[in-house]
Amino acid sequence: MEILVEGLRFARDRRPVLDIPALRIASGGVTAIFGPNGSGKTTLLRLIAGLERADAGTIRIGPALVEPGPAAARAAAIAFQEPVFLRGTVRRNLDLAMRLRNVGHDERAERVAEVARECGIEVVLDRSAWKLSGGEARRAGLARVLALRAPVTLLDEPLAGIDRVARTHLLDDLPRLLARFATTTVLVTHDREEAFRLADDLVILTGGTIRAAGPKAPLYASPPDVDTAELLGYTVLFPPGGPVAVPPGGLRLGEGEVGFDLAVERTIDMGNHLHLLGTIAGRRADLRLPSGSAPPMAGTIVRVFAASRVALPR
């Protein structure tokens, strides 16, 4: 279902947290709310889930206005950043969640079996939910929200706090799981890779306001401003012709059309390449050099150029 936000304002302890004049999240896809820590991402998600009351404005899911408080027929289901469980087995936790949403007995059993199989938590179904590893707890929390098959599934940092291997596997599995169990998904992340791998659309949030929103490819191809470009992973530089966004690996050693002086700070041997770190006019910049090449000394200044770049509006 489509989510429509209008004139939304939210403050905590008189400190403004969110100010969103208008936002439309399309029905049927995966949208990532992407931004740095403290930008209000989680608050926006909790507002959509009906766990917070806005100071002004409205949120609609489909035709229905989101009213804070419990509602069994609620369109949205949320998985928190920290998976939290009741006492008892994983099975009981999944079952209770569906029972609270008025899913019938037989269907609950079917859904538990299916979601457990798909999420890879069959072996822990009858284990205490409090004794799961970080990765298992993540998947169990995810299974619980997916089992609800809510029209809108909200995931707060679905990959936070698990080890690298578990994260890689879950990142691989998530698109398939969302496609199977969720209709419209909104997820919150501060991680660029997650946002790009999981989402169709991005909503870029900084300081409680939306900097950009829309399908990820055009957004990445032409970032609307400097902050957005930096969030998307570009190095933003300011040559005389106006700001440019340089994608990762876009800087090369040598002379080119748009050249800069890079003050070398250090070189890290990454095994298969050298990673050169430094600053250009006070802004952090980095480039890759082939392994085995003689790196410039720290403290020296080298000429680099932007082999690929996107011009930003001034």
Partner 1 sequence: MNDLLRGAAQAVQLLFSGDRELYAIILRTLSISLSATLVAMLIGVPLGYGLARGRFPGRTLLLGAVNTGMGIPPVVVGLMVWLLLTRSGPLGGLGLIYTKQAMLLAQVVIATPLVIGFTAASIQALPPQLPDLLTSLGAGRLRRLWILSGEARLGFLAAIMAAFGAIVSEVGASMAVGGNLRGSTRVLTTAIVTETGRGNVPVALALGMMLLALSFMVNLVLTVVQQRRRS
- Note the residues at the interface with partner 1 (CB under 8 A): 46, 49-51, 69-74, 76-78, 80, 82, 84-87, 96-97, 100-102, 148
Q: Which is nearer to partner 1, 85 or 260 (CB)?
A: 85
CB of 144 to partner 1, least distance (A): 9
Q: Return the closest-CA partner of residue 259 out of 303, 311, 309.
A: 303
Q: Which is nearer to partner 1, 94 or 287 (CB)?
A: 94
Q: Which is nearer to partner 1, 86 or 298 (CB)?
A: 86
CB of 84 to partner 1, least distance (A): 5
Other C-beta atoms lying within 10 Å of the C-beta of residue 257: 10
Q: Return the closest-CA partner of residue 49 out of 149, 120, 155.
A: 155
Strand order across the beta sheet in which 259-269 lies:
251-253, 301-306, 259-269, 273-280, 283-290
Q: Which is nearer to partner 1, 76 or 251 (CB)?
A: 76
Q: Which is nearer to partner 1, 96 or 277 (CB)?
A: 96
CB of 71 to partner 1, least distance (A): 6
DSSP 3-state of 106: helix
CB of 153 to partner 1, least distance (A): 12
Alpha helices in 182-249 (DSSP H): 192-198, 216-221, 226-231
Q: What does the buried/exposed string (b/e) look like for 143-181 if buried means 16 or more CB atoms within 10 Å of the residue's CB?
A: bbbbbbbbbbbbbbbbbbebeeebbeebbeebeebbeeb
Angle made by CA atoms 11, 16, 17, in degrees to the nearest 5: 80
CB of 161 to partner 1, least distance (A): 14
Angle made by CA atoms 287, 291, 297, in degrees to the nearest 5: 60
CB of 6 to partner 1, least distance (A): 22
CB of 38 to partner 1, least distance (A): 19
What H or E segment, with its residue span, contains residue 13?
A: none
Q: Which is nearer to partner 1, 49 or 306 (CB)?
A: 49
| Residue recorded with tokens 């470009």 | 229
Q: Which is nearer to partner 1, 48 or 306 (CB)?
A: 48
